[in-house]
Amino acid sequence: MKKILLAAVALVLSFGAKAQIESHVKWSYAAKRISATEAVVFLKATIDDKWHIYGLDVKDGGPIKTSFTFAASKDYSPIGKPVQPAPIKKYESTFKMDVTYFEKSVIFQQKIKLKSANASVIKGQLEYMTCNDQKCLPPEDIDFSIPLGK
């Protein structure tokens, strides 16, 4: 009986800890073929009010910049670097440097070379950091899998 009670308490505590994890960004993805040999991947961040994520070009020594890593594949490879719209640029005293960031929403784009007519899914991982005027959350890594339409 004691073991069952301890297990129940541990289970309740684990649910409580999970519920306290903050998340202020929702990611969505899409891909569009632009020719028989190229596609564009769209990675959209929808950001809660009063929060922001950092741009692709934040210098070392500052916050964790948003970045994308595409899984190695015989079917596709990234062309060049990801593209972002014009970010907000501001001096942040916390990091003692100018940083670039996005509020509300942002769509990043990455051109992809299709090496095979069988390419059907683009996979990878993104990393980003979320902050507001009072705190920053630990960086998050998210795996993505984006269907590639015909």
Range of the domain at 32: 24-147
Q: How many helices (H) and strands (E) does the chain have?
A: 1, 11
Question: Rounded mean pLDDT of 122-147?
Answer: 95
User: What does the alpha-carbon distance between residue 66 and residue 53 come to, in Å, rounded to a whole number?
Assistant: 7
When pLDDT is averaged across residues 4-32 and rounded to a whole number, the result is: 62
State the pLDDT at residue 38: 94
pLDDT score recorded for residue 124: 97
Q: What is the pLDDT of residue 150?
A: 64
Is 81 a domain residue?
yes
pLDDT band with cut points at 50, 70 and 90 for residue 6: very low
Model pLDDT, residue 103: 98
DSSP reduced 3-state for 9: helix
14: confidence class by pLDDT, cuts 50, 70, 90: very low
Is residue 1 a part of any domain in this protein?
no
If one counts the domains in the chain, the total is: 1
Mean pLDDT, the chain, as a whole number?
Answer: 87
How does pLDDT run across 91-117, given as a tens digit for each residue?
988 889 999 999 999 999 999 999 988
SS (H, E, C) 92-106: ECCCCEEEEEEECEE
Please tell me which residue, 136 or 18, carries the higher pLDDT value.
Answer: 136
Long-range contacts of 114-119 (CB under 8 A, 24+ apart): 114/33, 114/36, 114/37, 114/38, 114/39, 114/75, 114/76, 114/148, 115/73, 115/74, 115/75, 115/76, 115/77, 116/74, 116/75, 116/76, 117/36, 118/75, 119/39, 119/73, 119/75, 119/76, 119/148
Please report whether residue 5 resides in a domain. no
**Considering the domain boundaries, does residue 3 fall inside one?**
no
Banded model confidence at residue 20, pLDDT cuts 50, 70, 90:
low
Structure tokens at 92: 């942040």
45, 102 in Cβ contact below 8 A? yes
The verdict on residue 29 lying in a domain is yes
Task: Give the pLDDT confidence score for residue 17 in this predicted structure.
Answer: 44
User: Does residue 87 lie in a domain region?
Assistant: yes
Residue 14 in domain: no
134 belongs to a structural domain: yes
Check which CATH number belongs to the domain holding 45 and give it.
2.60.40.1250
Q: What is the pLDDT of residue 15?
A: 40
